């Protein structure tokens, strides 16, 4: 069990529900006419529905996250607030993170939020590049998938604003995975950190779209299926020293 916000919600929901249930089953019948329950019971009755609704929403439907770094530029910028679909990859029990209902599997190109394998209490966001069984080679900014070079096209030069200004001048490419295309940025002056290997069963290989400024599976390995939190699908706000209304409502791909 990972002690995070979901775990806290489970404990609060259980505690408030237990107080309410015990009062209804034992103490309510002992109170005289017009006698009010204790303040603790009133709080439990008031907050249990709130805790329960938030727990259901965050555990099984949607969860918000904020992007703290530039590893997913140009797709995601520092200060983007995103929504994550929690049910695309199956229904999991909150806190325990045990999958109880199979729904679907991650696909190449999906932007996923997951628990960082080296510190499961920390959520990371990257793009799935390899699924179980894939043979991957990444060398000199060229991705090869199952012995087939992944096509790229030059989209010009990346010009960043605000926190992304430091990445201005990078080459902006479109990378065409079999399932979908997406944009990446690379620094042609750098060789790029390479990697070669096969994705094992129940694991995923992830990379950041900012290929030369992302610590991802090339550095620390694969993401186990049980570490997946959900698929990022929309930007609902951006705040990087101020709002950027142009990014609100942007659907991710």
- For 238, the enclosing helix (H) or strand (E) is strand 228-238
**42 by DSSP, 3-state: which?**
helix
Q: Any residues with CB less than 8 A from the CB of 28 and at least 6 apart, and which?
A: 37
Alpha carbon distances (Å) from 175 to 124, 137, 211: 22, 15, 12
**218 by DSSP, 3-state: which?**
helix
Contact criterion met (CB below 8 Å) for 107 and 114: no
**135 by DSSP, 3-state: which?**
strand
Contact criterion met (CB below 8 Å) for 205 and 199: yes
- Number of Cα atoms under 13 Å in the Cβ half of residue 124: 23
Determine how β-strand 148-149 pairs with β-strand 111-115: unpaired
Tell me which residue has tokens 């030059």. Answer: 154
The catalytic site residues sit at 71, 126
DSSP assignment of 173-192: EEEE-SS-EEEEEE-TTS--
What backbone torsions phi and psi does residue 54 show, to the nearest 5 degrees? Answer: -65, -40
Its sign, for the CA torsion 152, 155, 156, 161, is: negative
């Amino acid at each position: 069990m990972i002690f995070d916000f979901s775990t806290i919600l489970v404990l609060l929901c259980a505690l408030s529900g237990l107080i309410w249930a015990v009062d209804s089953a034992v103490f309510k019948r002992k109170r005289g006419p017009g006698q009010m329950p204790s303040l603790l019971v009133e709080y439990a009755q008031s907050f249990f529905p709130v805790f329960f609704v938030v727990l259901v929403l965050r555990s099984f439907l949607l969860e918000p996250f904020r992007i703290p770094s530039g590893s997913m530029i140009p797709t995601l910028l520092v200060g983007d607030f995103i929504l994550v679909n929690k049910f695309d990859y199956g229904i999991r029990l909150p806190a325990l993170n045990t999958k109880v209902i199979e729904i679907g599997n991650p696909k190449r190109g999906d932007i996923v939020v997951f628990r960082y394998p080296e510190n499961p209490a920390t959520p990371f966001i990257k793009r799935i590049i390899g699924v179980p069984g894939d043979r991957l080679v990444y060398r000199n900014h060229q991705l090869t998938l199952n012995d087939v070079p992944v096509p790229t096209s030059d989209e010009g030069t990346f010009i960043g604003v605000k926190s992304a200004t430091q990445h201005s001048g990078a080459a902006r490419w479109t990378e065409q995975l079999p399932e979908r295309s997406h944009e990446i940025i690379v620094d042609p002056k750098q060789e790029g950190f390479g990697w070669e290997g096969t994705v094992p069963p129940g694991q995923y290989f992830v990379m950041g779209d900012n290929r030369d400024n992302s610590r991802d599976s090339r550095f620390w390995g694969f993401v186990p299926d049980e570490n997946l939190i959900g698929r990022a699908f929309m930007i609902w706000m951006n705040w990087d020293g101020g709002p950027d209304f142009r990014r609100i409502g942007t659907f991710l791909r």
